[in-house]
Amino acid sequence: MSGARLTESIGARFPDAVITTHAYRGEETVVVRHEQLHAVAEFLKLDDDSKMNFLMDLAVVDYSMFGKSPPQAFFASSGVAVRPPARIPDKNPWPGPPGTERFAVVYHFFSTTHKHRLRMVVPVDETSAEVDTVCDLWAGANWLEREAWDMFGIVFRDHPDLRRLLMYDEFEGHPLRKDYPVRRRQPLIGPVN
């Protein structure tokens, strides 16, 4: 089944869940509301035309600084800012971040029967950063969701064991968020240098 028909069939089956679909650079993407995330994921896994038996990846993107980085200095120490040149024009431009919410949880699926991929983007608001877990569908989601909680602070409802994975328990904050400074160390022993 071709990718475009796959996104159409999802749109037909869940008309109120799908916000938008696109195929930037040939990659089928469907943006789904977080309330129906689990239903859509279950459909993708079990339906014969999609048969997404692999949850390849679960990533989170923090869109709070999108397009808003401070202008860079000509030399790192000079402070003289450069005006960036015009962007490279794209024949088939990307529609942009999926909505105004701060976070987007991005699921990448793959099917070994049909050999097709799909990306599902779920926008999540900052104030209620909670989505349903998909651990019951794919066992690999367990650790992927733990890492998303650790790095970004997204809570996964009904996750059997939501605790930090890569950072230590005493660490405060979620390091991959855009407002966490890259050099803020919280050492367990030794000086803060």
Partner 1 sequence: MPIDPTTEVETADAASAPAAESPKPATREMLLNIGPAHPAMHGIVRIVTKLDGEQVKEVDVEIGYLHRGFEKMSEQVDYNGVMPYTDRLNYVSSFINNAGYCMAVEKLLGISVPLRCEYIRVIVSEISRIADHLTSVGATAMELGAFTVFLYMIKAREYLWDLLEQVTGARLTVSYCRVGGIKADLPDEFAAGCIAAFAKTREVIAESEGLLKRNRIFTDRMMGTGVISTEDAISYGITGPFLRATGCDYDVRKDCPYSVYDRLDFDVPVGTAGDNMDRFLVRMEEMEQSMRIVEAALKDLPDGAVMTHPGTGRHIPAAEMVDLGKVGNIGAIADGCAVPGPTLEGAGRERLHTISTDNKRVALPAKENVYGNIEGLMQQFKLIMHGHGIRAPEGEVYEAVEGANGELGFYVVSDGEPNAYRVRVRPPCFAIMSALPLLLVGDMVADIVPTFGSVNMIGGELDR
Partner 2 sequence: MENNSTFFTSRVNEALGWARKYSIFQYPFVTACCGMEYMATACSHYDVDRFGAGLPRFSPRQADVLFVVGTISHKMAPVLKRIYDQMAEPKWVVAFGVCTCTGGFYDNYATVMGIDTILPVDVYIPGCPPRPEMVLDGLMKLQDKIQDEHSTGVRPAPEDRPDDLEMEANR
Contact positions toward partner 2, by CB under 8 A?
Answer: 167-168, 175, 180-191, 193
Please state, in angstroms and rounded to a whole number, the distance separating the CA atoms of residues 66 and 171: 26
Q: How far is the CB of 39 from partner 1 (least distance, A)?
A: 19
Binding of partner 1 at residue 96 (CB under 8 A)? yes
33 touches, from partner 2, partner 1, none (C-beta below 5 to 8 Å by class): none
Q: Cα angle at 182 between 179 and 187, to 5 degrees?
A: 115
Q: Is the dihedral of CA 117, 21, 141, 167 positive or negative?
A: positive
Binding of partner 1 at residue 38 (CB under 8 A)? no
CA nearest neighbour of 117 among 190, 30, 18: 30
Contact yes or no for 151/176 (Cβ under 8 A): yes
Site residues (vs partner 1, CB under 8 A): 24-25, 27, 29, 53-57, 59, 61-62, 65-67, 69, 71-76, 81-82, 84-85, 87-91, 93-94, 96, 106, 108, 112, 115, 117, 119, 138-140, 142-144, 151, 164-168, 175-176, 182
